[in-house]
Amino acid sequence: MKSNLLILFLLAIALTSCGNGEDALKEQTNIQTQEAIKADNENREMWSARLAGDLSKRRSFISAIEGEFEGQFLVKESSYMIRLMITSTIPDYEINRTRTIAELEYELQNLNLNIQIMQWNPEAQRSAVGCVLENVKPDFKKGILNLISENCSNTYRMFLSNNDDEVNIKAESQNIANSIRDGKIDFVRSFKGILRSSTNAEIYNFSLSRN
């Protein structure tokens, strides 16, 4: 009889210990799950903030150069006009909610430029030729637009400018791009450009001012 009671007592202790162990395991698992969820949320918030920051800088750059610019270049003794119209692929808009990571990534991928180029002899207005380049990706760090397309017989390389003819155009363009990114400039007044024709080996330099 005493032996049976002892066995029952030991069994009760074992079952109690087992129950306590399961409860402890469940609690530990719950803690680890909550920590993992918290870490994932924090990582998502950090990534979302980074994407939003990058998008804001890209939007600032594009807003600063949107518009119509016009200038001229010389071919031998003749003067030709050139006009550049720059628009955003995604117009700026207001939003009153927090955007998802997928939305931010989509806009970063697709927020670029549409550019129309026109050239003409001012003495023959109907001589105008032009082309449209879609989804142009500018160099946001260097402030350079490389305009190359099968639809255009010419290629263009555009640099941000302050209309200062005595400076290195690459350095000036990068400085302006940095100032836009830092919020010091929100409006680009002009471009300096290099035109290469597909019909000859000449290289033509030109300047464009905002209309």
122 CB contacts (<8 Å, ≥6 apart)?
A: 72, 79, 80, 81
CA distance 138 to 178: 14
Q: In the predicted model, is pLDDT for residue 13 greater than 80?
A: no
Confidence (pLDDT) at 210: 95
Mean pLDDT across 28-54: 79
Q: Is pLDDT above 50 for 20?
A: yes
Q: What number is the average pLDDT over the span 124-143?
A: 90
Residue 138: the pLDDT is 95
Residue 141: closest CA among 85, 87, 181: 181
Instruction: Using alpha carbons, select from 192, 155, 186 the residue that is nearest to residue 173.
Output: 192
Answer whether 80's CB lies under 8 Å from 195's CB: no
User: What is the share, in percent, of the chain residues with pLDDT greater than 70?
Assistant: 84
Please tell me which residue, 40 or 11, carries the higher pLDDT value: 40
Residue 75, pLDDT score: 82
pLDDT of residue 109 exceeding 50:
yes
Q: What predicted TM-score, i.e. pTM, was given to this entire model?
A: 0.79
Q: What local confidence, expressed as pLDDT, does residue 2 receive?
A: 47
Name the percent of the chain lying above pLDDT 90: 54
Which residue would you say has higher pLDDT here, 77 or 32?
77
Span 64-70, average pLDDT: 96
Cα separation values, 11 from 15, 18, 23, Å:
6, 10, 18
Of 125, 20, 134, 19, the C-alpha closest to 81 is: 125
| pLDDT tens, position by position, 177-196 | 999 999 999 999 999 999 99
Q: Domain spanning 45-210: which CATH class is it, in words?
A: mainly beta
Higher-confidence position of 156 and 153: 156
* Chain mean pLDDT for the chain: 85
pLDDT, residue 81, reads 93
> Residue 9 above 50 pLDDT?
no
